[in-house]
Structure 1
Amino acid sequence: MHDPTSSSSARIAFVGGGNMARSLIGGLVRQGHDAAAIRVAEPNADLRQALARDFGVAVFEHGRDAAAGAEAVLLAVKPQVMRPVCESLREVLQADRPLLISIAAGIRMDQLDAWCGGGVAVVRSMPNTPALIGAGASGLCANGRVDAAQRARAEQILGAAGLTVWIEAEEQMDIVTAISGSGPAYFFLLVEALEDAAVAEGLPRDAARLLACQTALGAGRMLREDGEAPAQLRQRVTSPNGTTQAALDRFAARGLRDVVADAVAAATQRGRELAAKSGD
């Protein structure tokens, strides 16, 4: 009899075989998950063939064929098509009762449950693009039907591409989207601005880009590995009346914290609007 607690042989279905699904599948296989137990539905024939070739997973054109018999079904499709995709899976999900995981922004768990026929164990997740290199950050939220084993399964799947954090209140998932889902773009913008500023001061662009990128990488690693709060790390590198202090004073004068707070609030509100627009 199949052991449902075996993390390496659990039957997992992906509906949608785009970049995010590919990153999760690759992470699972690298961690020793049995590729033969992973099934992927993807309407694009070229993407299907690439997934089968690169990872040895079973591929299908239709979601219901991939989802049949799965213990976990991960929906990796765009929010705009989520409802018809769920409805196409309803019969299989009602028969097999797998864990359903969605990585779509703005789609609530009660919507997913209703579209799938009700009574479904649902985990909503918001991964981000660094998952493509195994350095992602994913917030996870579960409805009341998700048991401890299914929580562990969701952590295993999303954790294949980086850090996972459980969020107990679903309304906070819009904040997660604003911080980690959209967050990489904020840091890309900062590095872009640093590069352009250095070029304006006379540094060659190739040198400016290398230095800005490596500085961002090193600072990020210190944040994760040092254990100190960001404020403490900032203070360590800031000498009184030095160059860093001069830059930080200008950031403060121009209201950097207020700009960041406004930006996160705008992204959070947009997430709420998308959820409302998706309808019931």
Structure 2
Amino acid sequence: MAAAAEESGWRRVGFVGAGRMAEAIAQGLIQAGKVEAEHVLASAPSDRNLCRFRAMGCQTTHSNLEVLHSCSLVFFATKPHILPAVLVEVAPAVTAEHILVSVAAGVSLSTLEKLLPPMARVLRVSPNLPCIVQEGAMVMARGCCAGSYEAQLLRSLLEACGQCEEVPEAQVDVHTGLSGSGVAFVCAFSEALAEGAIKMGMPSGLAHRIAAQTLLGTAKVLLQKGQHPAQLRTDVCTPGGTTIYGLHVLEQGGLRATAMSAVEAATCRARELSRNPSPVVAQVPSVLQALQGEGALAHREHSSVARS
């Protein structure tokens, strides 16, 4: 169990949930020198995921409340359907000093704020897995109590993991479909490119390495030169050459329409999750009242013991 934080502010970073996305963000922050590994505290119900945090030199615990008590900046990285119950659990420990960041897909700011105390400073981030190599593509939106300080702080930290931009919350679900899910879409395309080369006689390992490097190099050209993809595609095509023949086949297969539909489907699913939060949300008032009652009772019992 980690000791109480000795440092103030965001320098002690907590993660409630220790899955791949939490690991990616933590590793990005550590590798960029934004936070030292021993100042990261992660919680999870079992050791299955926590072992990866320990391997990075981070502190771990099975107590979500310990993370809130020890850290001022806390990332909530649980599965979306689990997050509401987790927030109800930790709500009594939330103070005005906390900056709370949700990376759960489809959980809206209004849902987050409904589950937390009124003064809670809440932000919502849509990251993607390449954060683990500091090449993530992220967007963030702030809740009603989070101001420019919180937004600038979070952005400065997350830029250690890649590109991070602030957007209206309505665009967060679109980002989930484009970039969060897009990692899998790009992997499927990379795999297909490599398998085409394998079919034509190239060794498997070489084909996959070249396919991945082709995607990486193309992305760098687009970002560094600020070109529209159509311009770069035109530059590669020569009349009667190999590329235009290949593009013709892709068009026949409906590549563009299929890719657009994939982003649309993933975005719609994220919006569906936002519109249909966990049943826990409907029970929030009674649950919070019960928790507050338990806290008051514990306080009275503690006071009685102290006076005796």
Q: Same fold (TM over 0.5)?
A: yes
State the match for 2:162 in structure 1.
162
Cα distance in 2 for partners of 1:200, 1:53 equals 40
> 2:134 aligned with 1:134, yes or no?
yes
Identity of aligned residues (%): 29
> 2:149 aligned with 1:146, yes or no?
no
User: In structure 1, the residue corresponding to 2:276 is in which secondary structure?
Assistant: helix
Cα distance in 2 for partners of 1:21, 1:2 equals 21
Cα distance in 2 for partners of 1:225, 1:274 equals 35
- Please tell me the residue identity of whatever aligns with 1:99: I
State the match for 1:242 in structure 2.
241
User: In structure 1, the residue corresponding to 2:11 is in which secondary structure?
Assistant: coil
State the match for 1:90 in structure 2.
91
State the match for 1:117 in structure 2.
117
User: In structure 2, the residue corresponding to 1:79 is in which secondary structure?
Assistant: coil
Please say which structure displays the higher CA radius of gyration: 2
Cα distance in 2 for partners of 1:133, 1:184 equals 13
What TM-score comes out, normalization by structure 1 length? Answer: 0.88
Cα distance in 1 for partners of 2:133, 2:36 equals 20
Cα distance in 2 for partners of 1:225, 1:243 equals 26
Cα distance in 2 for partners of 1:200, 1:213 equals 17
When residues 58 and 205 of structure 1 are mapped into structure 2, their CA distance, relative to the original with a 3 A threshold, is closer
User: In structure 2, the residue corresponding to 1:118 is in which secondary structure?
Assistant: coil
State the match for 1:77 in structure 2.
78
- In structure 2, the gaps of 5 or more residues are 1-5, 282-308
> 2:222 aligned with 1:223, yes or no?
yes
State the match for 2:23 in structure 1.
22
- Please tell me the residue identity of whatever aligns with 1:252: E
Q: Deviations over 1:53-91 (max 9, x none)?
A: 522x33222111111153211101111210111011101
Cα distance in 2 for partners of 1:63, 1:190 equals 39
* Aligned-pair CA distance for 1:275: 1.8
* Aligned-pair CA distance for 1:206: 3.2
Query: Once structures 1 and 2 are overlaid, which stretch shifts more, 252-261 or 180-189?
Result: 252-261
Query: Once structures 1 and 2 are overlaid, which stretch shifts more, 84-93 or 250-259?
Result: 250-259
Cα distance in 1 for partners of 2:13, 2:21 equals 15
State the match for 1:273 in structure 2.
272
1:41-56 to 2 correspondences below 5 Å = 41-45=43-47, 47-48=49-50, 50-55=52-57
For the 8 Å contact 1:24–1:157, the answer to whether it is kept is no
Backbone CA RMSD of aligned residues: 2.2
Which of 26, 39, 43 is residue 37 of structure 1 equivalent to?
Answer: 39
Aligned residues: 273
- Please tell me the residue identity of whatever aligns with 1:84: A
Cα distance in 2 for partners of 1:278, 1:166 equals 24
For the 8 Å contact 2:16–2:44, the answer to whether it is kept is yes
For the 8 Å contact 1:68–1:96, the answer to whether it is kept is no
State the match for 2:193 in structure 1.
194
What TM-score comes out, normalization by structure 2 length? Answer: 0.81
Q: Deviations over 1:7-43 (max 9, x none)?
A: xx62322111222222222222223224443322222
When residues 49 and 269 of structure 1 are mapped into structure 2, their CA distance, relative to the original with a 3 A threshold, is closer
User: In structure 2, the residue corresponding to 1:160 is in which secondary structure?
Assistant: helix
